[in-house]
Chains A and B, each alone.
Chain A
Amino acid sequence: MSTDNTARPGTRGAAWAIVPLVVVGLLVVIPVAAVVIAGLGAEALQTLAASSTWRIVAYTAAQALASTVLSLVLALPAAYALYRLAIPARRTLLAIVTIPFVLPTIVVGLAFREVLPFAGTTAAIIVAHVFFNVGLVVRIIGSLWGHLDARWLDVARTLGIGPVRSFVHVTLPLLRPAILGAAALVFLFTFTSFGVVLVLGDPALPTIEVEIYTATVQRLDLPAAAGLALLQFAVVAIAIVWSTRLQARAAVRQRLGDEDQRAAVASGADRVAVAWTWAIVAAITIPLLGLVWRSLRVGEGWGLAWYAEAFSPAEGTTRSASAFESLALSLQYAAVATVLATSLGALACAGILAAGRRGAWVDAALALPLGVSAVTIGFGLLLVSLRGPLDMRGWWILVPLGQALVALPIVIRVVLPLLRSLDPRLRQVAATLGAPPLRAWWSTEGGIALRAIAVAAALAAAVALGEFGATAFLVRLDTPTVPVHIVRLLGRPGDTNAGVAAALSVILLVTTVVIVGVAERIRPRRSGGW
C-alpha cells in the first residue's frame, strides 16, 4: 500500500475511518442520545425517585460483584496451571476454557436450565456468569503471568520468603494490572448481562437490563426504560473511569520475560492447580453435554425428532414463525451483519492505523458500542425508529445493523493488533529473498491482512448469529432470529417446544464453535493481544 518505508501518520490516512465513524455516530450516538434525552424527561426522572428502581440497581450491582469475585478466584489457579506449568493437552484445555465466552447467552442459559436444580435463582445467574467469564479471566491474567520473570520468585526465596508469602507479596502485586483489567471487564459484562438473567434468573428479581426490556416490550413504558438506561450508563461510566485509573496506578514498568518459561509440575500446590483446571474444564463441558442430551431425548426414548422439526420447512402461523424459518432468517441477518461489520471494521482499522497517534481517539470512539450494552443499542435504535424523523419500524436492515454494531468493537479489537504487527519492510525482505512480487505480498502483508479480515468476518458472523440483546428489541413478532425464537419457545409449555428449543440451541452451539474454531486456525500466529 505505501510506496516508501516510513509510515506516514496523518489526517489523510485517517479519512479511511470517516465512514465507520459516521455510521457509528449515526447508529450508536444518536440512539444513545435518544435514550438519554428520553431518560431526562420528567416521567423518566420520576422512575429514578422510586425505591424499586434503586433496589433493581443494587441487585444488579451485587450479582455483578459476586460474579466478578467468584470468576477471579476460580480463574487464578487455572491461569497458573495453563500459563506457568508444562502440562499435557494444555492448548486443548485452554480452548475449552475459552469456548463459553463466545457462546450465545441464550444457549448457555438453556443449558444451565437443564442442568441446575436451582435454576430461577440468583445463584443460577452467578454460576452461569462464572461459566462465561472464567476463560476470559484465565487468558487475561495468564498472559501476563506467563511473561513474568521467573527470577522474581527466586529473589523472594533467597530473602527467606516462603511460597505463600511470595505469592501474596510478589506475584499478586505484579499481576495487579491484569487482575484489575479482568475484573473491570467481567463486572461490565455481568452488570449488563441480559440473556442469562432472562432465562435463568428469578422472575421477581430483575436486573436493569431485564427491566428495560420488560418495561419496553411488555408494558410499553418507555420513560421508565429510558430512566433505567440512563442509570445504567452512569454506573458503567463510573466503573470504567474508576477501573482505568486504578489500572494506570497499578501499572508497573517491568521487563517482561519471554513466554514459554513453563516449568514442570513440581510441588503439591502445582498439582492442586492442575486438578483445579481439569475440574473447571469438566464443569464447563457438563452443561453443554446436558443440552445435547436434552435435544436428543424424545419422549421416553431418544431420537432426532426435534432436529427434524427444526429443519422441516413447516409453515409457521401468521403470528409466529417455525423453527426452520427462524434458522433461515438468522442466517440471512448474520450474512448482512457480517458484511457490514467486516467492511466497517476494515475501514476503521485502516483509519486508526493511518492516523498514527491520533488513531487512539478513533479507536476509543469506535469501541463505544462495547461499553454501551446491546440492549441499549437495540432500545436506542427502537426509539429512533419510533420517534425519529423517519419511521424505520419495519425496516429489515435494522436487525443486522444492530448486530453489526454489537460485533464492530470486537472485530476491531481482534483485527487491529494483527494489522499493527504488519511491517511493510517484510515484503521487501521477501523480495530480496527471491520471491516474485505477488507471492511476496501474499506471504507477508497481503496474506496477513486477508487472513485478518477472514478472522474478523468469522467472529462477526458468530456474534451476529448468537446476538440476543439488541435483536430482541428490533425483531418483529413474525420474523424472529434463532435466539429470540428459542426464548419464545421456552415461554410456551410442552415437551415439543422444549425439545425444539434444545435442538436449536445445539445447532447454534455447534455453528458458533465451528466458526470460532475456523477463525482461530486462520488467525496468524505471533499477534499481540488475545
Chain B
Amino acid sequence: MDADSGLRVCGLSIAYDGRDLVRDIDLDVEPDEIVALLGPSGSGKSSLLRCIAGVQRPASGSVSWAGADITGVPAHLRRIGLVFQDPLLFPHRDVAGNIGFGLPAADRARRVAELLELVGLSGFEQRDVATLSGGEAQRVALARALAPRPRVLLLDEPFGALDRELRDRLAIDVRELLRDQGTPALHVTHDHEEASLVADRVVRLAPEQSSP
C-alpha cells in the first residue's frame, strides 16, 4: 500500500450541534479500488462523505489525495465527486444540461452522449428531468457526477429510495461503470447485499467511532 496515492482520511472527527457525531475515523481508498462503508443509518456516514468532498468542515483530522493534504482546499477545487441520496437534478435544465453542467463547452456534447450510453440512457439528452423515473434520475445523477472525471467518487446511499430489484441491478451497473472509467469510489450504504455487489472491499464503521 503506497502511502502517497489514493484517498487518505486520517483522524477525522465531526461534530454536530456541539456533540460528536463521528470520532477519529481513518479510511483509505486506493486509486484502483471501490470501497463500501457499512454502518447503520444516522451514524454520521453522510457527514463523513460531505467532509471528504469539502462541503462540510470537520472538527479535526485531515483528508489527503496522492500524498497532498487537501483539507483546506475548497470543494469546487478538490475534484471529488458526490452522488446524493436524492438525485437533485437541476429542474431548470434538461438531462444533457444537467450532465454537462460541470463541463467546458468544447467537449460537452460528446462526453454527455458517451456517459448517457454508459448508464444505459442513450438518447435522453432532451428529456425533462421531471419526467424521469427514480432509477433513471439516479443514473443521470451518476453520469453528472462522473462527467468532470473526478479523482474519486463518493456515493451516499444512492439507491436508498429505490426498490430491491432495481437496487441490485444498479449496484452491478455502477460497479461496471466505475471500473470502466477507472474511477475509485467510496460507497456508503446500510445494505450488506449492495455493499458486496458494488465493492472490492467492505469497511464497517465501528460502533465506538460513531454516536448516532
Residues of A within 8 A of B (CB): 149, 151-152, 154-163, 166, 169-170, 173-174, 176, 252-255
Distance in angstroms from A190 CB to nearest chain B CB is 28
Alpha-carbon gap, A159 to B144, bound state (A): 8
B101 close to A161 (CB less than 8 A): yes
Would A161 and B88 count as touching, CB distance under 8 A?
Answer: no
In the complex, the chain B residue whose C-beta lies closest to that of A150 is: B55
Give the distance to chain B from A223, nearest Cβ to Cβ, in Å.
49
A-B contact pairs, 23 of them (CB 8 A): A149-B88, A151-B86, A152-B88, A154-B50, A154-B55, A155-B90, A157-B54, A157-B55, A158-B55, A158-B80, A158-B82, A158-B150, A159-B145, A160-B76, A160-B77, A160-B79, A161-B101, A161-B102, A174-B91, A174-B92, A252-B92, A253-B130, A255-B86
B210 CB, min distance to chain A CBs, angstroms: 22
Interface size on B, residues (CB 8 A): 26
Cα separation A252 to B97 with both chains bound (whole Å): 15
Q: Most B CB atoms within 10 A — which of A159, A161, A255? A: A159
Q: A151-B84, A253-B130 are in contact. Are A157 and B91 (CB under 8 A)?
A: no
Whether A159 contacts B81 in the complex (CB less than 8 A), given A154-B50, A154-B55, A253-B130, comes out as: yes
Q: Which residues of A contact B79 (CB under 8 A)?
A: 160
Q: How far is the CB of A114 from chain B (nearest CB, A)?
A: 46
Residues of A within 8 A of B92 (CB): 173-174, 176, 252
B101-129 Cβ-contact flags toward A at 8 Å (1 or 0): 11000000000000000000000000000
A151 and B74 alpha carbons, distance in the complex (Å): 16
Pick the most buried of B55, B86, B130, B144: most chain A CB atoms within 10 A of its CB.
B55
Tell me whether chain A's interface is mostly helix, strand or loop, or mixed: helix
Tell yes or no: B148 within 8 A of A by CB.
yes
> Are A159 and B148 touching (Cβ within 8 A)?
yes
Closest 8 CB pairs of A and B: A159-B102, A157-B75, A252-B91, A158-B82, A173-B92, A154-B55, A157-B76, A162-B76
Q: How many angstroms between the C-alpha atoms of A156 and B148 in the bound complex?
A: 12
A163 touching B90, Cβ below 8 Å: no
Query: Which residue of chain A lies nearest to B81 when distances are taken between CB atoms in the complex?
Result: A158
Residues from chain B with a CB closer than 8 A to the CB of A149 are 88
Q: How far is the CA of A152 from the CA of B90 in the complex (A)?
A: 8
Q: What residues of B have a CB within 8 angstroms of the CB of A157 in the complex?
A: 53-55, 74-76
Whether A160 pairs with B148 at a CB distance below 8 angstroms is yes
CB <8 Å contact, A254 and B91:
yes
Q: Report B-chain residues with C-beta under 8 Å of the C-beta of A156.
A: 76, 101
Which residue from chain A places its CB closest to the CB of B149 in the assembled complex?
A: A160
- Across the interface, which residues of A come within 8 angstroms of B86, CB to CB? 151, 255
Bound CA–CA A158/B88 (angstroms): 13
Say how far B83's CB is from chain A's closest CB, in angstroms: 9
Which of B82, B101, B130 is in CB contact (< 8 Å) with A154? B82
Q: Point out the residues of chain A lying under 8 angstroms from B54, CB to CB.
A: 157-158
- Point out the residues of chain A lying under 8 angstroms from B81, CB to CB: 158-159
* B141 to chain A: closest residue by CB: A155
Q: Report yes or no: B145 in contact with A158, Cβ–Cβ below 8 A.
A: yes
A151 partner residues in chain B, CB cutoff 8 A: 84, 86, 88
Which residues of the partner chain B approach A169 to less than 8 Å between Cβ atoms? 101
